[in-house]
Amino acid sequence: MPLSFANDFQARKAYGRKPPVKVVHILTEFGKTFVPVLEAITAWGNQVVLEKR
């Protein structure tokens, strides 16, 4: 099982019964607690790019 499902980071909702099936992935409340970490990594990456120019 992928890490995201094993640790309840996201929820998956499938709509329809025949292909193509629409699938929506949303962050759970627990997954939303990881957003500040992703924002910090993004800010760091953006700073690195600016410094390398």
User: What are the mean pLDDT values of the chain's consecutive 10-residue runs (53 residues total)?
Assistant: 66 88 92 95 98 94
Alpha helix (H) residue ranges in the chain:
3-6, 29-32, 35-52
Look at residue 51 in the predicted model and tell me its pLDDT.
97
pLDDT of residue 4: 54
Q: Looking at domain 3-52, does it have CATH number 3.40.50.150? A: no
Backbone angles phi, psi at 16, to 5 degrees: 95, 165
Residue-level pLDDT at 37: 96
